[in-house]
Amino acid sequence: MHSAASTSADFAGRDICVNSTNGTQTAAAKASAPRYLFGRFIFRYGLAVGSVAAATALGFLADRWDLHESVFTIYLLAVALTSWYAGAWPAVIAFAVGELAFDYFFTPPFYSLIVTHEDLAYFPAFAAFSGLLIWFGLVRRRAEADLRQSRDLLEAEVEQRRALNVELEKRSDELRGTNKELEAFAYSVSHDLRAPVRHIAGFTELLQKHAHPVLDDKGRHHISMILESANRMGNLVDDLLAFSRIGRAETQRTTIKLDQLVKDVIGEIAPDMQGRNINWRIGTLPICYGDPSLLRLVFSNLVSNAVKFTRTRPQGEIEIGSLNHTPDEAVVFVKDNGVGFDMKYKDKLFGVFQRLHSQEAFEGTGIGLATVQRIVHRHGGRVWAEASVDNGATFFVALPKPGKV
Handedness of CA 205, 210, 212, 218 (dihedral sign): negative
Q: What is the mean pLDDT of residues 179-206?
A: 74
In a domain, 137, yes or no: no
Inter-residue contact 87 to 44 (CB < 8 Å): yes
Distances (CA, A) of 104 to 60, 97, 99, 107, 147: 12, 10, 8, 7, 41
C-alpha angle with apex 283: 279 to 289, nearest 5 degrees? 125
Q: Using alpha carbons, select from 316, 310, 302 the residue that is nearest to residue 369.
A: 302
Average pLDDT over all residues of the chain: 77
In a domain, 104, yes or no: no
Top mean-pLDDT range of 125-134, 203-212, 368-377:
368-377
Query: Tell me: the pLDDT tens digits for 121-149?
Result: 666 766 776 777 777 777 777 887 888 88
Q: For residue 333, what pLDDT is reported?
A: 94
**Per-residue pLDDT at 328 exceeds 70:** yes
**Per-residue pLDDT at 250 exceeds 80:** no
How far apart, in whole angstroms, are the C-alpha atoms of residue 308 and residue 363?
Answer: 9
In a domain, 268, yes or no: yes
C-alpha angle with apex 305: 299 to 310, nearest 5 degrees? 130
In a domain, 392, yes or no: yes
Q: For residue 312, what pLDDT is reported?
A: 84
How far apart, in whole angstroms, are the C-alpha atoms of residue 120 and residue 98?
Answer: 15
Q: What is the mean pLDDT of residues 225-248?
A: 73
Query: Tell me: the pLDDT tens digits for 57-93?
Result: 888 888 778 777 777 788 778 888 777 777 777 878 8
Q: For residue 397, what pLDDT is reported?
A: 92
C-alpha angle with apex 257: 282 to 393, nearest 5 degrees? 40
Q: For residue 8, what pLDDT is reported?
A: 44
Beta partners for residue 399, in sequence order: 330
Q: For residue 14, what pLDDT is reported?
A: 46
Domain encompassing residue 263: 251-400
Number of structural domains in the chain: 1
In a domain, 295, yes or no: yes
Considering only 40-49, 254-263, 345-354, which range has the smallest mean pLDDT? Answer: 345-354
Query: Tell me: the pLDDT tens digits for 153-190?
Result: 898 899 999 989 988 888 888 877 776 766 666 666 66
Query: Tell me: the pLDDT tens digits for 2-58?
Result: 444 444 444 445 444 444 444 545 555 555 667 767 777 787 788 878 888 888 888
Greater confidence, 362 or 188?
A: 188
Inter-residue contact 379 to 291 (CB < 8 Å): yes
Greater confidence, 4 or 252?
A: 252
CATH code (residue 353): 3.30.565.10
Q: Is the peptide bond before 109 cis (omega within 30 degrees of 0)?
A: yes
In a domain, 333, yes or no: yes
In a domain, 27, yes or no: no
Q: For residue 394, what pLDDT is reported?
A: 92
Q: Could you tell me the pTM of the whole model?
A: 0.51
Residue 402 CB neighbours (<10 A): 15
Q: What is the mean pLDDT of residues 282-306?
A: 88
In a domain, 269, yes or no: yes
